[in-house]
Amino acid sequence: MKGWMAWGAALALCGAWAQAGTYTYDANAAEEFRARDGLPNFFAKIKAVGPHALPAPLEATNWEVGTLMPITNAVLSAGWTPVDVDKDPVYCESRLRTHAMLRNAVKCDQAGASVTVKWNGTVVGISDIPYGEPSAIEAVVDGGKPIVAERVQREKTRHARFWYLPEQKPGEHTVTFTVKKLPAGQSFYMGQLLIVGAPSN
């Protein structure tokens, strides 16, 4: 019984691959196998292996290229300063996790500081360290409608988080992230940028 269940699972996986356009799959034959025939008769009905055409992808490299871009490679406005990643109390409170996610960082002490990134792809994400009272960051892609995200730390430990833009159409884009709200006495930390695609900066 376990053997037949395993074959059924394998056929279901082939169906998923077929939907993704990466595998030729005969749904009728698979259903027939599951319902009645069993393994020998199922394979007897499969035609000879041969070449088959796959449809052209909608986007040649969509979601195939990813880049971890150091924050210092972005265009930084005035107001950002480098973080001492070995001594800064916020960065080091959960340093193993935070350093793995941010891989160095900059911080600002007042709202209005911005980071601009140009990229060819679909998505950009930020890595940051929300803590204390909620802060807010605004993202404007290609001069469009602002997207505002409240950055909140919901755990006791001050450690790193990610936030991603909504997916954009594949192509060249420019996004500017601006710190819009920053409570008094707090800093906004930002580390590496996570890009689906490649930076154009």
Residue 74 DSSP one-character state: S
pLDDT at residue 60 in the model: 74
pLDDT above 70: residue 24: no
Alpha carbons 69 and 60: distance in angstroms, whole number:
22
Q: Spell out the domains of the chain, with CATH numbers in brackets.
A: 2-44 (no CATH), 66-199 (2.60.120.260)
**57: pLDDT confidence band, cut at 50, 70 and 90?**
confident
> What confidence tens digit (pLDDT) does each residue in 74-95 have?
999 999 999 999 999 999 999 9
Alpha carbons 51 and 25: distance in angstroms, whole number:
13
Alpha carbons 176 and 98: distance in angstroms, whole number:
23
| Overall average pLDDT of the 147-163 stretch | 96
> 């924050």: which residue's tokens?
71
Residue 23 DSSP one-character state: S
Over the chain, what is the mean pLDDT? Answer: 85
Residue 109 DSSP one-character state: S
CA dihedral 179, 185, 186, 187 (to 10 degrees): 70
| pTM of the model as a whole | 0.72
Alpha carbons 62 and 158: distance in angstroms, whole number:
34
Give the Cα-Cα-Cα angle 135, 137, 138 (nearest 5 degrees).
150
> What confidence tens digit (pLDDT) does each residue in 162-176 have?
999 999 999 999 999
Return the closest-CA partner of residue 135 out of 126, 124, 144, 145.
126
